[in-house]
Amino acid sequence: MPKLSVRNLTKRFPVSDGPSMLALDGVDLDVEEGEFIAFVGPSGCGKTTLLRIIQGLETATSGDILIDGKPARGPGHDRGFVFQQYGLLPWLTAAQNIGFALEAKGVPARQHGDITERVLATVGLKGFGDRFPHQLSGGMQQRVGIARALAIEPDMMLLDEPFGALDALSREILQNEMLGLTERMGKTVLFVTHSVDEAVCLADRVVVMSPRPGRIRDIVPIDIPRPRARLGEALRDTPEYSAKRQLLWNQLMELV
């Protein structure tokens, strides 16, 4: 049984004075346990909407989300979400932001300290717990976002263009760490990105979506052997990498 099944999912957004907009049209997808799926596509293809519906932040107009075969209605602690921007509460410190997720899950307060310290260390932010978001760089803020999602020990991680707002260097560093993290933990990951490069580096399969209406256009398997993290830059020199990058690039160019 797949970890996650998306069944004939449709999402319509009402438009004032006009026909409603079809953001997602009959989307079907199965994701296996431990798989890393990246979603790419031009803006308006509904990739973020799809991720938000899976997380339960939005409701589908029709269709089903099945997790371990059971229909998922609304959010759950089995899914950890990482937001693109504004993902942290600016009036809480890094540790308190992580504590927020723990408290929401009902983890007893006396365990918060240990868990927070552990996940901050995992993302390389040991000792930064008492910093406010504005005292951290964009890359560090996003690490806190990832740490918070890890803290609730979800089966699945959902990331919505998590590195989209970062500079090129931070972005590449975080991509590599993300690779190491997911390969160590073996969690199921859904990753929305607008970067073909990022998708090929990280994913087992890349879902290409087309806009207006949002549909799955193709699913491209990436057969670069794992663990990829230790390859570092050499990852981008593999023939599979350049072949798949070229293939995806061509597909996206047709869609724009």
Partner 1 sequence: MQRSAQPGTASKNAVDPLAEPDPRRQKRRERILQIGTLVLLLAAWEFAAHDANKLLVAMPSDIALATWDLLVSGELLWATLDSMSTFVLGFVIASVLGIVIGFAMGTNRTVEVILDPYINALYAMPLVALIPILMLWVGIGFLAKITIIILFAVFPVIINTVTGVKNVDKHYLDIGKAFMASRAMVYRKIIAPYAMPYVASGLRIALGRGIIAMIVAEFLTSISGLGGLIINYTNAFETAKAFAPVLVVAVLANALTLLVQKVEARFGRWRRR
Q: Can you give the binding site for partner 1, defined by CB under 8 A? A: 55-57, 75-77, 81, 83, 85-92, 100-101, 103-105, 132-134, 148, 152
Which CB, 105 or 226, lies closer to partner 1? 105
Least CB distance to partner 1 at residue 71 (A):
17
Least CB distance to partner 1 at residue 10 (A):
22
Which CB, 92 or 255, lies closer to partner 1? 92
Residue 47 near residue 124, CB atoms below 8 Å: no
Cα(100)–Cα(16) distance, integer angstroms: 36
Cα(157)–Cα(87) distance, integer angstroms: 15
Widest pairwise Cα distance in the chain: 54
Least CB distance to partner 1 at residue 51 (A):
11
**In this structure, what DSSP letter does residue 119 have?**
H
Residue 113 near residue 94, CB atoms below 8 Å: no
Least CB distance to partner 1 at residue 94 (A):
12
Which CB, 3 or 148, lies closer to partner 1? 148
List 22's β-bridge partners, or say none.
12
Residue 228 C-beta-side C-alpha neighbours within 13 Å: 25
Which CB, 83 or 249, lies closer to partner 1? 83
